[in-house]
Structure 1
Amino acid sequence: MHDHSVHVQCGDCPIRHRAVCARCETDELSKLEQIKYYRSFQAGQTIIWSGDRMEFVGSVVSGIASLTQTMEDGRRQMVGLLLPSDFVGRPGRPTAAFDVTATTDLVMCCFRKKPFEEMMSTTPHIAQRLLEMMLDELDAAREWMLLLGRKTAREKIASLISIIARRDAALHLRTKTGALAVDLPLTREEMADYLGLTLETVSRQISALKKDGVISLEGNRHVRIPDMDRLMEEAGDDSDGGMLV
């Protein structure tokens, strides 16, 4: 663990309105404070190995992590991304189901697992919010399956950009339609790795989306999206019925 100290007050927390504590009252937050601590991880560092005993649960405060599964022959499959406010760990389950690795430098708000499980049984606000988050995660997993499966390379790139842009908009309480701008937290190499594409294909498809006016770029990371509905169409998603993570 990268051990420089991290201090975030609940009132100043950037994920407060989307985290597991979003509905907690002042007295409930005080109880959570007693079992809470922060951990920071460097890009590339493993947060949890699959099968490890989980001593904590918590939320990503800043940064991005990847969920991966290693097969018997050593091949690794990326099965999802954890973005700010996403929850890590499962109350009631002793071990981790996936490897969790910091893709970027990352900060987590952690709760000691056993006290958190006890609080769940006495604090409906936490149990209700966690259920909502698990259902959102199920929708995200289904969207990820579609992204990695039947979509074309162009649709995959558009989908990944739209997932990150919509989550960023939700985190900052902005509308998820119309024009949006977002800083992509992933390099093109990481996008290629996660999507099962070559680096050349990723670069070519990003250039094509830019040429067609679907996105514009400032540097390599800052993406402007003139019309979110257009991007969703390019992603192969129904903008009226598609999942908004």
Structure 2
Amino acid sequence: MDAQLKLPETQEIPLVCRSCEARHGGICSTLTTQQLAELNKHSQRRAVEAGTELIGQGELVTSYSNVLKGVVKLQKIMADGRQQIVGLQFAPDFMGRPFLGESLMTAEAATDTELCVLPRRLLERMIGESSDLGAKLHRQALLELDEARDWMLTLGRKSAREKVASLLVLIATHTEPEDIRDCAFDLPLSRADIADFLGLTIETVSRQMTKLRKDGIIHIENNRHVIVPDFERLSVAAGGD
């Protein structure tokens, strides 16, 4: 193995990186300690409130981000102002598209969110230097492509009940990836945003949530906190096997 690629002792890793979720599960897991130290010198942690626009569609890209906490919603906006939520990003997702001058969509914090902001030029240089980093970003891009294709099926063929259940499955699998059998989470989207994301009316979303609750598939507390006592039942409700 090339000596440059060997991982030095753990104590050399910057302190702020050691307990970071993106360090272990995100793109930073592919970096050497020297690269982590260099990136740490130029990165910045940023806490943003729900509703904060992180970058607008068509804006110049000067940085990328790792999502450390919270949920980010991605939106496409038409020339006449109509918009559509086209995706969600969770920790430890990488937010941005390397080597692209302008953002193709708007990114907005759906919940209170914490980001690690990375300078564009530095990260793009590291991508050129590290095949592992490039491969990690490639895998995330392919995963997002697979999820987009699955979502096309959800929007095009599933019933309203299946659509709502599919969104809950999506959130659950990203919120509790290690123990999905019995999970709980706060909805990161309002009923209006859920309706927008699913192509339904707000009334239909509320009605289907109520039906899932009455069937015992989910429990809802304080209108936003969702408890899933049996993930398999939710998965079946979403049209799964």
Which TM-score bucket, shorter chain as reference? 0.7 to 0.9
Matches within 5 A, 1:74-93: 74-93=81-100
Is structure 2 residue 153 aligned with structure 1 residue 146? yes
What do the CA deviations read for 1:21-46 (whole angstroms, capped 9, x no partner)?
Answer: 12333223112212311223322222
Q: Please, what TM-score do these two structures have when normalized by structure 1? A: 0.85
Mapped partners of 1:41, 1:146: distance in 2: 33
What do the CA deviations read for 1:60-82 (whole angstroms, capped 9, x no partner)?
Answer: 11122211111222211111112
2:195 matched to which residue of 1? 192
More helix by share: 2
What do the CA deviations read for 1:82-118 (whole angstroms, capped 9, x no partner)?
Answer: 2222221111111111111222222211111011111
Q: Secondary structure at the match of 1:17?
A: helix
Is structure 2 residue 229 aligned with structure 1 residue 229? no
Shift of 1:144: 2.5
Query: Which structure 2 residue ranges, 5 or more long, are not aligned?
Result: 1-14
From 165, 176, 182, the equivalent of 1:169 is 176
The amino acid across from 1:233 in the alignment is V
2:64 matched to which residue of 1? 57
Q: Please, what TM-score do these two structures have when normalized by structure 2? A: 0.86
Q: Secondary structure at the match of 1:50?
A: coil
The amino acid across from 2:142 in the alignment is L
Mapped partners of 2:116, 2:18: distance in 1: 14
Q: Secondary structure at the match of 1:149?
A: helix
Q: Percent identity?
A: 41
- Structure 1 or 2, whichever has the larger Rg, is 2
Mapped partners of 2:48, 2:185: distance in 1: 23
Aligned residue-pair number: 227
- Considering only aligned residues, what root-mean-square deviation do their CA atoms show, in Å? 1.9
2:49 matched to which residue of 1? 42
What do the CA deviations read for 1:142-188 (whole angstroms, capped 9, x no partner)?
Answer: 22222333221111110111001001122xxx233x32222222233
What do the CA deviations read for 1:179-234 (whole angstroms, capped 9, x no partner)?
Answer: 22222222333322322322222221111111112112233222222222221111
Structure 1 runs of 4+ aligned residues shifted over 4 Å read none
The amino acid across from 2:156 in the alignment is G
Mapped partners of 1:183, 1:43: distance in 2: 13
